[in-house]
Structure 1
């Protein structure tokens, strides 16, 4: 048995008639639009889109009520068995316990019938304490924390406005979250890859906090504004080297100490399964963002491309979430193989790569009709993973 469609026949364009739009199952709820850190790699504040400057600090109760009604309407119209709501920012804990409590109660109160609502929250951890965690126990809110490695690695980017590093403040929060009392809420650690950090040191440090899952994110960039370390040589794959070092340690461990979403998704796709991340695979994107002012937007990674790229012109006070499904940007991201550029459609790794994260394909002169700016990295990583998996399957078959 060999991995399916990683390498071999190139992908082929799909039918000309697109299938019906997939309903939205994930809501990124921007409960607060500011942050208590000033990270220099932040996609919200340090990239092209600066619309956060004109939005309310915190989502109002009225906007939360409109949002809850729209989620309930969409879930009922599409008979969804579940919907995920991620409380996000900025830093969502700045909204305060009362607002977070109101948001969860309003949405759960509005969504009736068979639809289960699953809540998560992504935080830098600096404000995380027993008071918040007891609230999250009450409402079954899972918590993810951002950390880029040991203090030297983390504090290169994740800093306060006065230059102080944040590592020392995040560590106690992670220890609290992994304690017996709260561990069932522990969603995992989000880590942004930095080529200047040693990959094995970063991974070893993250394992000290016993995360159930690690999300390794490539820093946002595109062909107009390349990510750090991206050189003129299109064949260079420095990020693949970094990720492969972590993959090999993770894959070779006698017992997996954590899940790594990117690696598990690549393996699943190689074996004909589904991806658990929009960073790889051809799955149709089923996410929208709702900003603090009630604007319905596309995925917020688009804020790294140009001003207003994520906007749809829709608002929860007057528009259904179904209307967002008709937006050209969201339609494009639901077209799978047919929505990719010619280079990607001809690539033997397309079924696994899927063109990479949509925002990473952007170039100012032709929009998103390009491979990912991480094309070489993704190809090298997928080839490496495919080789390891194929070898293991061959050994298993021969034994």
Structure 2
């Protein structure tokens, strides 16, 4: 992705009537709201957003004004043509705004909701400020919470510290218990870095057993050393994949390490937890194996439908591309709908596939990956072509490991049988093998899969990423 406004794709989009463009590109779009901008009460080492203060004038008041909040909520609802409109709130740390701010959010949503239209909310938080007042509010309004937690104490506290460098594990766990006490729906958002990347099984078991969580998202930390100054991938890399680590920060997960992490989690999940624990990477891979659309933008053929709005009303192409060249406009001066279907944003989305290197187009896993997220395309291919994904080697390890089992799960589901059958067959086969009995194939050993959510629902959940 070049560090310049995207050029129009070769689709004739500039000549396409506005109504036709809206019908073609608006369905399924999503805006991640950052009403407090980059302001946070923690100082996580790997955070890609804290430095965004530099985008704004010194002394900026990082709080979305009532006018901007109302303009955003009204325009967001007006731009949607679906029966359920989901808002996602992130930061920075949005709970710093307090419960009254989000009470105002709910009031405005009720004011502008269309007949027979449902409004829902998701909130990403580090959990440190959660108390009973928050618990009651989140439960009352059925807010889905994405909680950032990186695993057991010694893994979590390595990088997730407060402004004084103090550990945060105990405070995060206290926040989690508040949410569970009040019956709030919770997804875990776990960053996989160079430390946690070696502990896939341990992290998974902690989240399942000690934290008591059932919906898990694993986010690979990939940051170029220059991420504070330039948008990701702007140079398209200066190495051919053989030495990627010198381009990234010391806490960035290694490519193959991330692949092994996912494989370790998968091996635990497929033997014990199909149907009761839901891991986003596995759900998406199963959906794609069945020929369904990707519920997650990074594994879709195109992207551009997951934008980000800052506290001042400025809309950006993506929350990983909050850099000046990817600024689309401001909802206080232009309607959100017009920004979403403008040439720059459509080109940003179609470039995801249009700029794939030749080796990616010829890859056996193309339709499971589509080059993953453009922000991670910072390498050159062995042939010198720019745009190879930093995580490519690890993703291949993961796809190669799970594809046989995913195929069996897809076959079960397509036949109208529960995917959990695969887990049971795998358990029976392994038990028979351990007992020295001849294996009689009943059904192919394969992991069952969680219920595949509707694409919009999964996309909403996925955008709650740290």
TM-score with structure 1 setting the length: 0.83
Distance 2:294 2:353 in 1: 15
**CA distance 1:211–1:315, change in 2 (3 Å):** same
Say whether 1:199 aligns with 2:200: yes
Give the distance between the partners of 1:124 and 1:177, measured in 2 at CA: 12
Matched, 1:318 2:321: no
Tell me, in whole angstroms, the C-alpha distance in 2 between the residues paired with 1:251 and 1:124: 29
Partner of 2:320: 301
8 A contact 2:304–2:317 mirrored in 1: no
Alpha-carbon distance between aligned partners in 2 of 1:260 and 1:231, rounded to the nearest angstrom: 19
Higher radius of gyration, 1 or 2: 2
1:99-248 maps to which residues of 2 (within 5 A)?
A: 99-179=101-181, 182-183=182-183, 185-197=184-196, 198-207=199-208, 208-221=210-223, 225-226=247-248, 228=250, 237-248=256-267
User: TM-score w.r.t. structure 2 length?
Assistant: 0.72
Deviation at 1:158, TM superposition (A): 0.5
CA positional deviation for 1:387 = 2.5
User: Do the aligned residues in 1 keep the contact of 2:223 with 2:252 (CA within 8 Å)?
Assistant: no
- Distance in 1 separating the partners of 2:369 and 2:442: 26
Match of 2:41 among 24, 36, 59: 36
Q: 2:430: which partner in 1? A: none
- CA distance in 2 between counterparts of 1:362 and 1:330 reads 22
Q: Which residue of 2 aligns with 1:384?
A: 401
Q: Decide whether the 8 Å contact of 1:49 with 1:308 is kept in 2.
A: no
Q: Give distance in 2, aligned partners of 1:53 and 1:146.
A: 29
* More RCO (CA 8 Å, sep 6+): 1
SS in 2 for 1:201: helix
- Matched residues, number: 369
**Aligned mates of 2:345, 2:249 — CA distance in 1:** 23
Aligned equivalent of 1:267: 286
Cα separation, partners in 2 of 1:62 and 1:396, compared to 1, 3 Å: farther
Q: CA deviation at 1:156?
A: 0.8
Equivalent pair of 1:360/1:374 in contact (CA under 8 Å):
yes
For each residue in 1:85-114, what CA deviation from the matched residue of structure 2 results, as whole angstroms up to 9, or x when unmatched?
A: 111110000011111111222133113134
Helix, strand or coil: the match of 1:300? coil
Structure 2 stretches of 5 or more lacking a match? 1-8, 14-20, 225-232, 238-246, 413-440, 446-466
**C-alpha distance in structure 2 between counterparts of 1:378 and 1:72, whole Å:** 36
Maintained 8 Å contact 1:83/1:117: yes
2:110 aligned counterpart, secondary structure: helix
SS at match of 1:272: coil
